Amino acid sequence: MDEHELVSALKALALELGKIPTRREFTTRHRGADYSLTRTFGTYIALVKAAGMETHNGKLDRTIESPFNAKSPQALLREYKALCSRREQIQGFFRTVLDLKDLFERAGNPPVLKLLAQGDTHAKFVDRAAFNAYKKFASYYCPDIHLIMGDFVDCEGLSHWPPDDLEPRRIVPEMKIGRALLQETVESTPTCSTRLFLEGNHERWIEQAFTKMPELFDGLAELDIEINVKTLLGLSSFGYEFFPLNELLQIGGAHFTHGLYTGKHHAAKHLDTFKTNIYYGHLHDTQEHNQTGIDGHVEASCLGCLCRKDAKFLKGKPNNWVHTAPVFEFFPDGSYNHYKPRIFNGRMAFNGMVFDGN
């Protein structure tokens, strides 16, 4: 849970109970929030203050400010629950369903809503020619939605894999590269009205570092410093909304995630598990698998990458990685077409146009 979700959840529970919840009451209601609370606010009292609550003998101050203003506690609770209904838990995982009508309205109600996805980039190891071609195509395509599929940064400095060279393991230089790439992407997509960022397993290494080296980060909360990929990359300043690792993001009839499964038949595994249209990165290739059910055709598809194909850990071995610029075009009813234009040696073609990044 991020800062906004923690504050909103505390306000809703306070209104339900008619008093300021104890820490135990809050963390019992919201399993797993304890770590997020400590990481984000440091103390429970700090969260209570951030929610604008005062302790008058343990009673809830009914004058607390809320985005719903002077509505009854019951109405506030109903609206909060409606707000959170976009995110639902299914068999242990979470899915966020974006309001397609709202996405169309943000974009000015075009005939089709255009989404441009960006596969694993691994910032420090980006293929510069492929990325340049991708940017040129983005400027031409003018997407309404830009979706980063995860592993945007490599986080080599926090990798749990043993280093295979003598370079110092640092995280800040790569984050600077990531911010520069984000700036270039934003400048290439000025008409974009929605920006989405899916966390990848490499970005998750940042949180894993907290558990493996807690003493390294001790005291940062007291300095009001939050260490995560959102703050390190400055995602909010670039306009990107963040979604945690392994969550599904639904837009119309399509689901997006970083990628949950590997192996020789990873597309079939994703489809067998979710049994719906699902698109992901993580494996860097363009494998696809489809099935037919009572509701028609469904498919799983890996969307390629923009990172260099000569990754150090491969030690010169051949691979099936593919550079792409995937696009999706949604109709208002949620149906869509999608394409995976390939980038060959820093050059791609689309609709008769050539985009050369060399």
CB count in 10 Å sphere of residue 303: 27
What pLDDT score does 81 carry? 44
The per-residue pLDDT string of the chain (358 residues; one tens digit each, 9 = 90 and over) reads: 677 778 778 877 877 777 788 877 887 777 667 667 777 777 777 788 777 765 444 444 444 333 334 444 445 444 444 444 467 777 778 888 998 988 998 899 999 999 999 999 998 889 999 999 999 999 999 999 999 999 998 777 666 555 565 566 677 788 889 999 999 999 999 989 999 999 988 888 777 776 666 665 666 666 566 677 888 888 888 889 888 888 899 999 999 999 999 999 999 999 999 999 999 999 999 999 999 978 789 999 999 999 999 887 777 788 999 999 999 999 999 999 999 999 999 999 999 999 999 9
The residue among 355, 335, 332, 331 whose CA lies nearest residue 345 is 355
Helix ranges, the chain (H): 3-17, 23-29, 33-41, 44-50, 73-84, 100-106, 128-141, 172-188, 201-212, 214-217, 229-233, 235-238, 266-274
What pLDDT score does 58 carry? 43
What pLDDT score does 113 carry? 97
CB count in 10 Å sphere of residue 90: 9
User: Tens digits of per-residue pLDDT, 39-56?
Assistant: 777 777 778 877 776 544
The residue among 7, 15, 1, 16 whose CA lies nearest residue 52 is 7
What pLDDT score does 268 carry? 96
Which residue is listed with tokens 């208002």? Answer: 332
Which residue is listed with tokens 């071995």? Answer: 317
330 has which bridge partners?
Answer: 113, 336
- Amino acid at site 210: F
CB count in 10 Å sphere of residue 184: 15
What pLDDT score does 163 carry? 57
Q: Which two tokens stand for residue 204?
A: 């998750």
What pLDDT score does 35 carry? 64
Give pTM, 2 decimals: 0.73
Helix ranges, 85-127 (H): 100-106
What pLDDT score does 185 carry? 94
User: Tens digits of per-residue pLDDT, 271-315?
Assistant: 999 999 999 999 999 999 999 978 789 999 999 999 999 887 777
